[in-house]
Structure 1
Amino acid sequence: MPLPESSLSIICAAIGDFVRNGVNAATNNITVSIAAPAEVAEDDDQHRINLFFYRFEPAGIQSAVRPDEFWRMRMFCLITSFGIDEDDIPAGENDLRMLGEVMRIFHQQPVLSAVNIGSVSVRLQVVFTPVTDEQINQIWSTQSDTVYRPSVIYELALMPVIPSQLRIEPPLVGSLGHQVFGDPAQRYAGFSGSVSGPRVPLQRVNIANPQWAPQICWIYQDSCVHTLSFDVDSPEFASFSPDLWIAGDSGEPVSLIWEIWDSDGWRQAGAPQIVSPFNDTIDSMQIPAPIPGLFPETLPLPLPVAIPVGENAAQGLLYAARNVVVIEGRPAVEIRSNPLLISLYRTT
């Protein structure tokens, strides 16, 4: 019975497929393999491109990774071409033709297409890594008596090591407050002070930039807010209407996307709602007068977030997103707005 796949093996196989398709291996009589160079050097029946993943190191951007979180790694791959004499073209020239094609495809697409590992989507960036003669010699000296062939080294980042059981993301903090007690014995007493959410600053969207990010805020009780909190049994929640102020280019629609949290963690809820920004600025000191059908944006009720049976709290996260093609011919990049948070709780 074969060994089960790992995130590492799936990603390395996907890189091999990318090279195989990029050099049109089937048509050009090229075999693309993942192995140590010594294992494929003696096969002289057809052209070969070999990927040797020889070094792995931490990403350097995670100071303390929990056992139930992604562990990001940098991979280093030695890519070697083994050509044969064919149609009066010597093996040495075919080595360079294949290696040049590999360099071309990585140069043209330095961010690889997404690789799906279960429910996780991963995209790697490819970075050419120049090496000295001494470093090349150190690698090839481990390959027995194999003669050196033209090679290049690429760094591929960042590859995740995915735990079998991922941590469930906790709820988010919607507001902060403080309280002072004069008696140390009260340090475990329930909080009864006042809390406040983050202030909504002046936000002006530079729509002249093709990569502009939308900005959003709740309009609630004639104020701009980023977070809301309700007792689900309160009159305030019963009369709540989720009105929004969306800033951006009014000629380019954006998608409003909900995520919800309960004891199972965060997940997207429902289909995105397409809306158009009202203007390019949010100024909490100058809220425009209501304009039917234009401002504020009223979302359809009921809210997608609700407290599950047997629990006392839930949260909803709302953001606006737009997809932008940054580089022609490359996949679009999703640009998100600031998030809006609504927290629901039950006191009885």
Structure 2
Amino acid sequence: MTRYMRTTAGVLVGALAAGAVAFTAPAVADDRQRGTERGRIVAVQPLRTLTTKDDVARVLAAAEFKTDEVRYGVDTYQLIYRTVDPAGQPTVASGLVALPRGGARELTTVSYTHGTEINRTDAPSMWRDGWAVGPALTYASAGFAAVAPDYLGLGLGPGPHPFLDVPSETTAALDLLRAAREFVPRAGHTLDRKVLVTGFSQGGTAATGLARALAGGADGWFRLGALSPIAGAYDARRELLPPWTTSHRRSTAATRATCWSPGTACTTSTTSRATCSRWTASSSSSTECTPARTSSRRCRPASTCCSPSEGGR
């Protein structure tokens, strides 16, 4: 993760408003109309109030976000709401809602799904640092209602986090939209039907799942307005989780450091062609090797090529 990526939220305001990808969704009965409690608010906790746009700009600048679109101060809230786990059983989750202090009464919603976090306290609604809340502050200060789900098992949600489980990321994001719609009238606003959907890394994949649900009419009120996912794990099964060999699993940290560096020589003393089974020789002399699967990566080792050992990336 580079600091450069932390400035992307400001750029997305214009892209989302313009409609990067648009869909038309049919109207169907939502889950609440089917008699469930999904999206119902359990608790609301006011978080920080950034009274003026200068207050917002200072927080964003400290986290290295762009401040070009800041127009309003922002009120932020943590919502705990009802949703379902990967097995479809009732549970609760938490998420961040950020609203502009000013502007129109009826707001268009931006749903931002965050990238991978390790600790519960790194989730958006926990407000551990400016990076976690920066996207929501960017959108809210530009005049949107911003919602950012923590996902299951992060923030104040119980149980483990089901990592890269798009169905549960989708339901957590969709049910936070429903909870936000229930909540925002208390803050003097309403939400229109259009939702602008974005996310980064793990959240890019989650955003795609939410967009698909909205486009398919999963909710009786909200409709997809635009989708702009960034750097998601869109083909994780084939590209990120190859069938590592037993020798890969036994690779040492020293071997891993030596191997995962295109252009670095890898000799039979540090690894073996069996270990590096994803790579094949591109010439009879084996002086240049390329990945067995299509890739732009190249390496020129002394005698053989190697790929990252398990967990080496």
More helix by share: 2
Question: Taking CA–CA contacts closer than 8 Å with sequence separation of 6 or more, which of the two structures ends up with the larger relative contact order?
Answer: 2
Q: Which has the larger radius of gyration?
A: 1
TM score, norm. by length of structure 1 = 0.25
More strand by share: 1
